[in-house]
């Protein structure tokens, strides 16, 4: 039987380059060499490809059956790589151009959620060149969280308790994007839920993140190995079901396919559930929660990777049935 030829693209021009390397190592290690031929494509921090860049031409890569873009953050998770793969007419894992771009931009993501009637935390978006913080103080009370609109893994995220800290956090976030999102700080539980599927997506059992620091930042996620998790999340059964329902609704509203991880806050006191963000290519490291949640529900890591490849090829076959000319 012919092996399925899987191109794994990883690295990239992103603040999450190192995380991508770890995710790709785990994904490639999960592919049975008896059934899959793995073709690694490493993109350096300078944007250069090894061994060669893909051509945006249909039929130019007959050596590839399906692509797994194990890329996090800008130039990989934001629709740019997905656009290249669409131009090349290649099957690939994960959401398409529009969903990837909409989910990556936190400002647009919140707008889509609001339009769909989904609950999100109150926030203010600041833009270059001035990033004036007066609008924040007019609408929100301290403390607040400050985030670059287009980045992931909590890179550039800060917490502010007064004007001085806010200005410093905005300056830091503005290094990473021309738009900065400032949100009311929610006290409560941080919950994540994995979603899998194309036309009929399903949600996993949600998990809870217990940061070792004041909030779940990059160091806590990838360097300190001190954050703890609870799976299932420590929530009543009806709240767990509500989180799962909202995760699928958010997935559909953004137009996702293949996979996503939807992150939530469950506010102490009020019990309100807020959608925080949606990650279209969540981490696949040995400690990442997306595969752990599915493992809890009976889908092992290797089977999960295989299922994602199947979903990518299924979506590609359906798209090929569409007409693009009169």
Report the catalytic residues.
16, 153, 222, 261, 263, 277, 279, 283
Neighbour count for residue 323 (Cβ, 10 Å): 5
* Residue of 203, 208, 186 whose CA lies nearest to 289: 208
Task: Check the CA dihedral 36-41-45-47 and report its sign.
Answer: negative
CB 65 within 8 A of CB 4: yes
Torsion angles phi and psi, residue 75, rounded to 5: 60, 30
Tokens 């410093």: give the residue.
168
Q: Please say whether the beta carbons of 65 and 313 come within 8 A.
A: yes
Q: What is the 3-state secondary structure (H, E, C) of 181-229?
A: EEEECCCEEEEEEEEEECCCCEECCCEEEECCCCCCCHHHHHCCCCCEE
């Amino acid at each position: 039987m012919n092996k399925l030829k899987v191109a794994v693209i990883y690295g990239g021009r992103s603040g999450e380059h190192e995380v991508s390397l770890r995710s790709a190592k785990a994904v490639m290690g999960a592919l049975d060499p008896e059934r899959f031929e793995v073709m690694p494509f490493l993109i350096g921090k300078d944007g250069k490809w090894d061994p060669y860049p893909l051509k945006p031409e249909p039929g130019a890569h007959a050596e590839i059956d399906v692509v797994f873009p194990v890329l996090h953050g800008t130039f990989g998770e934001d629709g740019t790589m997905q656009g290249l793969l669409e131009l090349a007419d290649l099957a690939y894992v994960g959401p398409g151009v529009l969903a990837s771009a909409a989910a990556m931009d936190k400002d647009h993501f919140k707008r889509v959620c609001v339009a769909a009637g989904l609950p999100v935390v109150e926030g203010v978006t600041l833009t270059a060149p001035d990033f004036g913080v007066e609008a924040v103080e007019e609408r929100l009370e301290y403390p607040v969280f400050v985030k670059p609109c287009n980045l992931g893994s909590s890179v550039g995220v800060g917490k502010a308790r007064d004007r001085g800290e806010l200005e410093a956090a905005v300056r830091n976030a503005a290094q990473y994007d021309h738009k900065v999102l400032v949100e009311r700080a929610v006290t409560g539980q941080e919950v994540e839920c994995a979603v899998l599927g194309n036309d009929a997506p399903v949600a996993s059992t949600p998990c809870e993140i217990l940061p070792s620091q004041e909030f779940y930042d990059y160091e806590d996620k990838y360097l300190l190995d001190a954050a703890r998790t609870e799976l299932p999340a420590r929530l009543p059964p009806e709240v767990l079901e509500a989180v799962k329902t909202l995760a699928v609704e958010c997935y559909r509203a953004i137009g996702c396919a293949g996979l996503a991880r939807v992150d939530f806050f469950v506010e102490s006191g009020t019990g309100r559930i807020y959608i925080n963000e949606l990650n279209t290519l969540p981490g696949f490291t040995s400690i990442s929660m997306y595969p752990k949640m599915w493992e809890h529900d009976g889908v092992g890591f290797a089977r999960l990777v295989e299922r994602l490849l199947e979903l990518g090829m299924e979506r590609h076959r359906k798209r090929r049935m569409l007409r693009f000319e009169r």
